[in-house]
Amino acid sequence: MKLKPLRPESNELLHLDAMRFIAAAGIVLHHSQEFFHGHADRALAGAHSAGLALFVDLFFTISGYVIAHVYADRITDLRSFGTFIQRRIGRLGPLHWVTFALSASLWAFLAYFQVSATHTPSFKVECLVETITLTHALYPCGGLILNGQSWSISAEMAMYVSFPIFLAIGRRSPLYLLTLAAGVATAIVGFNHGLPDATTSIGVWVEAYSPLRATVSFCIGITLWLMRPALERLPLPEIVLYISVPALCIVMQTMSNAFVAMALVYIVVCAAIVADLRGKTSYIFRAIAPLGQLTYSIYMWHGLFILVFMNIIGDKVLRLSTVAMICVAIITYVMILSWSYFSFIYLETPARKWIDRLKVAPATTSLSKSRAG
């Protein structure tokens, strides 16, 4: 069988595509690195690498920029807004529902055979319904959710619904949108400081109410899109990327200061945007960029692969040594990447096209008229 080549959707955002893949790889490492250590050392190792969770905020920032880049001039009435939401559901929904169903089946299997687990998801009806409808970030059900990484997809959907409001604020002045982002960030720090799970600034940020956390970075992404003419004048963007990306990875795994890490997140995204605006892409970024198409697949599938091959088989059944577990990890990473390719080509893309073709958008109504009425 001849494999279909991966290609970026356009040549306009190659550096951002590369950053998306790097962020996805960082999240995979974040959720698997504990198995490189003995049981006694895992809590400490997890605390040291907790900053890798901030790669999700890099996703939110890139999302804000890309959504503004693609849809800022397309959403003019309720019909176009409905089409926008339909397409976002088509992009995110099918894989979320598939991984949800497989996660439910796997955990039900483990429960049937009474296999113990440290973090068992909840099968409460409200948790299941909220997860299926991607509202679990808005209304936490009080239990762990199946395909747990989907919390950020739920928060992302909330950002899509709010996008016209954020864009309207930013078009009045990007400073207004930055002020909103800064205000939300300040509220997060103020409300979460001192919580039991928020003993560091990274803990404060990670434990934040998900839609608020997403709002900060999503709004900054939209602001960067609005400020393109000013950003384009910034010098040496690829050199800044070569320096800031390794610096971000090091800081995420050695410091507990979220403010330094988040500043580097925004520097990385800003440098990638400037590099894309310049239109000159070096070989390394051009080579990585097509893998950005697999970002969502990697993000949604990696938890299941890590659970089965590293947690259950490698750690609990075979009780592998650290060296052997690293070998299993490498094999698992290859499987995640390979499976993500087939998922993107043969599941997500056909499902997305099918949902995009459905005639569900409302009749044309001006957004401004709708608000006035």
* Number of domain units in the chain: 1
Distance, in Å, from the CA atom of 333 to the CA atom of 216, rounded to the nearest integer, reads 31
Q: Looking at the domain assignment, is residue 74 inside a domain?
A: yes
Q: Looking at the domain assignment, is residue 61 inside a domain?
A: yes
Q: Looking at the domain assignment, is residue 123 inside a domain?
A: yes
Q: Looking at the domain assignment, is residue 176 inside a domain?
A: yes
Distance, in Å, from the CA atom of 27 to the CA atom of 16, rounded to the nearest integer, reads 16
Give residues with Cβ within 8 angstroms of 199, minimum separation 6. none
Instruction: Give the pLDDT confidence score for residue 197 in this predicted structure.
Output: 62
Q: Looking at the domain assignment, is residue 5 inside a domain?
A: no
Secondary structure (H, E, C), the chain: CCCCCCCCCCCCCHHHHHHHHHHHHHHHHHHHHHHHCCHHHHHHHHHHCHHHHHHHHHHHHHHHHHHHHHHCCCCCEHHHHHHHHHHHHHHHHHHHHHHHHHHHHHHHHHHHCCCCCCCCCCCCHHHHHHHHCCCCCCCCCCCCCCCHHHHHHHHHHHHHHHHHHHHHHHHHCHHHHHHHHHHHHHHHHHHHCCCCCCCCHHHHHHCCCHHHHHHHHHHHHHHHHHCHHHHCCCCCHHHHHHHHHHHHHHHHHHCCCHHHHHHHHHHHHHHHHHHHHHCCCCHHHHHHHHHHHHHHHHHHHHHHHHHHHHHHHHHHHCCCCHHHHHHHHHHHHHHHHHHHHHHHHHHHHHHHHHHHHCCCCCCCCEHHHHHHC
Instruction: Give the pLDDT confidence score for residue 231 in this predicted structure.
Output: 95
pLDDT, mean of each 10-residue run, the chain (373 residues)? 87 97 97 90 82 96 98 95 97 97 93 76 93 95 89 98 98 97 94 67 88 98 97 95 96 85 97 96 95 98 96 93 95 98 97 91 44 35
Task: Count Cβ atoms within 10 A of the Cβ of residue 50 and give its class: 0-12 exposed, 13-18 middle, 19 or more buried.
Answer: buried
Angle at 155 between CA 16 and CA 311, to 5 degrees: 85
Q: Looking at the domain assignment, is residue 7 inside a domain?
A: no
Instruction: Give the pLDDT confidence score for residue 364 in this predicted structure.
Output: 44
Distance, in Å, from the CA atom of 317 to the CA atom of 315, rounded to the nearest integer, reads 6
Enter the pTM of the model: 0.93
363: containing domain = 14-372
